[in-house]
Amino acid sequence: MHRRTLAELAAGLRKKEFSSVELTRHYLERIERGQPALNAFVTITREQALAAAEAADRELAAGRGGPLTGVPIVHKDIFCTQGVLTTCASRMLSNFVSPYDATVVAKLKAAGTVMLGKANMDEFAMGSSNETSWYGPVRNPWNPELVPGGSSGGSAAAVAARLAPAATATDTGGSIRQPAALCGVTGIKPTYGRVSRYGMIAFASSLDQGGVITVSAEDAALVLGAMAGFDPQDSTSVDTPVPDYTATLNDSVEGLKIGLLKEFFDKGLDPENEQRVREALAVYERLGARLQEVSLPNLPLSVPTYYVVAPAECSSNLARYDGVRFGYRCENPRDLMDLYKRTRGEGFGAEVKRRIMTGTYVLSAGYYDAYYLKAQKVRQLIARDFERAFQEVDVLIGPTTPTPAFALGAKTSDPITMYLNDIYTIGANLAGLPAISIPCGFVRGLPVGLQIVGRHFAEAKILNVAHVYQRETDWHLRVPPGWA
């Protein structure tokens, strides 16, 4: 059953080929066998999953339910889940049981999905390799000595190893698309404001966006349709109708104008990665699309801009973790200052501390104008570059990452090198644009990702462009050795 896509599983459930309980048990058994090797989960919710599956079977037996009723899913451990640990993979929240569901969780629960558990991640979503988790690193199913990418590495690894047909995820600077690329799965970051951030633990509020990791673009269209929509509990949620993303999946791409991002095909791109991307572009040309080189001159500034804006917002958002109200608290504090210092010193990991310190510095008196304000101005220039590009083309396409997956520990001692792994993904976050990564081949036995970026609220278009490619290829259906 795990070799089927989510869309195929949903169809099988409606045809009564198997029950949701049978399907859920199958995935739970795979998770229990696979968890020691991959460490993709923080929590496995076996009892809750089986109870939800039984409820889904009753709905289906009564002729009710929607397209996702009875389908198992995993939630990234950044989404609050009522009555279940929500840790953000941090010691700081290692004892936090959420009293409510995030809007994304509530919407998918209402759609009839079955939660299998909570996926491991980089601590507070800060990382590009899933090595900063308090619960230990996640491993890549294609090679357990390599990283799966981050921060949604647990979600990507779980879907790649077919431990779940879909997983929610979040993307602040590439944290859906980068692990999707390194694990050979499909990952979509929607437009900023398209998916509610209520109950999604904040890292950088103007950049964070919830999305989904699946096997295929068709699967992503199904799940995103259930997740998206206006939420009055989120002040950044946009009140605009959500289309049926599956309705336009098979639209022709003949005449589609594809922009090739000149700045992405530079000296930092692995030549074999570039070759796989260009082979994918040839598929689009064969289908009638037209290629045109596009330049975004300010895009090379996206990494330094991001690493001013994101840490500044993280410094503010993480100030709430002080040992007073909830979460980790140090033992026997001498006074209030000792409580604050030791709780935060013991509760946060090295990368989170690094970003808090950086953010506090750039927001401090005398440096705000020099760093934070200047970064926000550059962010606007990058957004305008994208606007101008979309006056000429329909979508922008390029590599998702400069290289395939790298070894565990290879970049942990060099934060700058680690940060550069998100060089092709950060721009879409700074501009608030939707973007998707899909598999487009292999380099030295490891998956390569193709990134498609669209205009604001053009999720349907990029899903269509992705799906058309996946109709012509089978890269997204490849399963890592040992997990088939």
Q: Please list the active-site residues.
A: 76, 151, 175
Under DSSP, the state recorded for 302 is H
| Of the candidates 298, 311, 274, 275, the residue with the CA atom closest to the CA atom of residue 401 | 274
- The secondary structure element, H or E, covering residue 42 is strand 41-44
Euclidean distance between CA atoms 152 and 425, whole angstroms? 14
Instruction: Yes or no: say if 138 and 126 are a contact pair by the CB < 8 Å rule.
Output: no
3-class SS shares of the chain: helix, strand, coil, % to 5: 40, 15, 45
Enumerate the β-bridge partners of residue 258: 291, 395
| Of the candidates 275, 287, 344, the residue with the CA atom closest to the CA atom of residue 315 | 344
- The secondary structure element, H or E, covering residue 350 is helix 350-363
For residue 450, the one-letter residue type is L
Compute the Cα dihedral for 298, 302, 304, 305 and give only its sign: positive
How many angstroms separate the Cα of 150 from the Cα of each of 92, 121, 170, 280? 19, 7, 10, 24
Which pair of tokens denotes residue 260? 């090739």
- Residue 412 CA, chain-centre distance (Å), reads 21
Under DSSP, the state recorded for 368 is I
Enumerate the β-bridge partners of residue 140: 143
- C-alpha dihedral, 379 to 383 to 384 to 386, nearest 10°: 140
